[in-house]
Amino acid sequence: TQLLEQSPQFLSIQEGENLTVYCNSSSVFSSLQWYRQEPGEGPVLLVTVVTGGEVKKLKRLTFQFGDARKDSSLHITAAQPGDTGLYLCAGYNAGGTSYGKLTFGQGTILTVHP
Amino acid sequence: NAGVTQTPKFQVLKTGQSMTLQCAQDMNHNSMYWYRQDPGMGLRLIYYSASEGTTDKGEVPNGYNVSRLNKREFSLRLESAAPSQTSVYFCASSETHSRGRSKEYFGAGTRLSVL
């Protein structure tokens, strides 16, 4: 069974602080996605990383895929209240099935206080 | 631009009752998905439809059935609801069935309670 462990589960910080969310597994993934979900809404895709060691930046958010493609991190610089939400990572492995398997982590609930 | 629309937004059922969750997308996407989201467990795939006319089981299909009515619509049916099916259900769509690579667009969810 493929598992994606996210840490921390909860994060409460002040506006302007930096933070990092981790997504770890013992399995190798073909690609990894990060989503943000706001209360009462569905997840929204932020980024997809596919190459080991890949780093992608989206304004104040930096995403990194581990060299071995088993882990990933999301770093937010100078967090804003608008960053508040549930952050989910999802790893994809084609495996032997026709549709592959997209495994979601449990999520990290981030609250940024003004 | 509505994207993915789910109805209803909230539903309370008694054990044994049946219901159908509706989903429609207006982006001309080929693939559609049904997920459930439970606290501490992330999202789990129930069923998916890679293209119009096809449906396949996901990770947790037991107790559910689906219908891909046309390219726009993909419904999820609970024939005899159980308390274990209390969850938030999300429908999603993507242009192609290239999971993990293609972008999936999610609806706002249906919050279902089974008493």
One-character DSSP codes across chain A: ----EEE-SEEEEETT--EEEEEE-SS--SEEEEEEE-TTS--EEEEEE-STT-EEEETTEEEEE-TTSSEEEEEESS--GGG-EEEEEEEEE-TTSSS-EEEEP--EEEEEE-
Which residues have C-beta within 8 Å of that of residue B110, sequence separation ≥ 6? B6, B7, B8, B9, B10, B11, B21, B88, B89, B90
Q: Which of B4, B41, B101 sits opposite A31 (nearest CB)?
A: B101
The alpha carbon dihedral of A88, A103, B9, B112 has a sign of: negative
Amino acid B100: pLDDT: 65
Across A36-62, average pLDDT: 94
Across B79-105, average pLDDT: 88
> Would the CB atoms of A100 and B100 count as touching at under 8 Å?
yes
Whether B36 and B60 have beta carbons less than 8 Å apart is answered as: yes
Tell me the per-residue pLDDT of A60-95, one tens digit each, with 9 for 90 and over: 999 999 999 999 999 999 999 999 999 999 998 766
Give the chain B residue nearest A10 (alpha carbons): B40
pLDDT band at A99 (very low <50, low <70, confident <90, very high): low
B33: contact with A, CB 8 A cutoff: no
Average pLDDT over chain B, rounded to an integer: 92
Q: Which residues of B touch A103 (CB under 8 A)?
A: 42
Amino acid A98: pLDDT: 47
Please report how many Cα atoms fall inside a 13 Å half-sphere around the Cα of residue A11, on the Cβ side. 28
Which residues have C-beta within 8 Å of that of residue A96, sequence separation ≥ 6? none
